[in-house]
Amino acid sequence: MRLVASFKTLFALFASLMATSSSANNIIHTEKSLYRNIIIYEEGDQRCMSFSQRDQSARQTCKSLSDPNAFVFTYTKMMMGALYLNPNPRKVLIIGLGGGVLPLALAAMYPETAIDIVEIDPAVVKVAQQFFGFNPGPKIRIIEEDGRVFAKRAGKAGQHYDLIMLDAFDHQYIPEHLLTQEFLLEIKNLLTSDGVLAANTFSTSRLYDHESTTYQSVFGAFYNLRVQYKNRIILVKLDGLPNRDVLERNAAALEEKLRPLGFGRDWLLPLFSTDPDWKPDARILTDQYSPSNLLNSAL
């Protein structure tokens, strides 16, 4: 009797496993890396990289199969808003590779620009190359390293970038040592005197307030781009934020270059805000105090 019962349990387990895999039969690749599970799947016209099977919002990168140049995600479009602050970057640093959408677009727009990409997870680099057509040209350098370690070493070596993009967060996990005042000071130290920083952050929780005051403590005023309270992009220029006229002029000059990515200034420019919509007294995050994930999950 017991034996039958355990067989039944086993069968039920097996059946549910089958059901899981058949409902996700568009999965084309899965991989366990040192840091996470990587799942590549196709859905409709899109191929996506996700770090979680169940959760749609865990998508890291998606690519349109019919129009591979166009950006699928809103946040990548908003990140390109950095170009409205500096339309001619010559040396770019990107921390966090994902599917390589941002560096590919930048390399297509600026063939002469040197791009350094720092990615902690070798498996992500491999998958980006295999499944997202990320074939780095001679101007692109990939460094497999923790972003903080790279920033510290590059700073000591006196390196500078005129555009830095921080894209190392997702909604589930924030590398806490990449969201502190000290880290941002190291990033600031890597910017040229007129350099621009674009940061993709994910806070919808009370972390939003802490993140805001932390960035403000290092950079002063910044442009804040938000859509539907999901992604939030922070744009900073070291020699001061350009005013609306400058933004519009740069946006007009970039309109043709950005069109293949699937958006334009009519959509992007109105998102630029300098409204401080956070609690100004939120505690600043430092290397000594950085419970970012706790703050992000707490209500």
Partner 1 sequence: MQRVLIFLIAAWSGFFVMAIELLSGRILAPNFGNSIYVWGGVITVFMLALSIGYLLGGRWSLHHPSLPRLALLLMLGAASAIPVILLGDGMLDWVFDQVPDPRYGSLLAATVFFFIPTAIAGMVSPYAVRLLVQHPDSSGHFAGLLYFFSTFGSAAGTILTSFYLVLYFEINQILSGLIGISLLLGLVATFIGNRENAPGR
Q: For binding to partner 1 (CB under 8 A), which residues are involved? A: 34-35, 120, 145-149, 152, 156, 175-177, 180, 182-183, 286-291, 294-295
**Cβ 149 to partner 1 shortest distance, Å:** 5
- Pair 31, 127: CB distance under 8 Å: yes
Helix (H) or strand (E) segment spanning residue 210: helix 207-219
Please report how close the Cβ of residue 293 comes to partner 1 at its closest, in angstroms.
10
Q: Which of 33, 30, 32, 31 is nearest to 121 (CA)?
A: 33
The residue annotated as part of the active site, out of 167, 194, 239, 245, is 167
With contact defined as beta carbons under 8 Å apart, do 148 and 160 qualify? no
Strand order in the sheet with 232-237: 140-144, 114-119, 91-95, 161-166, 191-201, 232-237, 223-226
Q: Is residue 194 among the annotated active site residues? A: no
Least separation, in Å, of the C-beta of 29 and partner 1? 22
Instruction: Round to whole Å and give the CA distance between 60 and 173.
Output: 12
How far apart CA 185 and CA 199 sit, in angstroms, is 14
- Please give the structure tokens belonging to residue 99: 């599917």
Comparing CB distances to partner 1, the nearer of 162 and 186 is 186
Phi/psi region, residue 74 (left: phi>0; alpha: psi -120 to 50; beta: rest), is alpha
Cα distance between residue 48 and residue 155, in whole Å: 34
Instruction: Report in angstroms how near the CB of residue 289 gets to partner 1 at its nearest.
Output: 5
Closest approach, Cβ 31 to partner 1, in A, equals 16
User: In the block, which residue shows the tokens 């677009």?
Assistant: 105
- H or E, element range at 84: helix 82-85
As a residue count, the chain comes to 299
Structure-token pair, residue 137: 């040209």
**Minimum separation from the CB atom of position 182 to partner 1 (A):** 6
Of the candidates 21, 16, 41, the one whose C-alpha atom is nearest the C-alpha of residue 31 is: 41
Nearest Cα residue to 90 out of 218, 196, 199, 11: 196
Residues carrying an active site annotation = 167
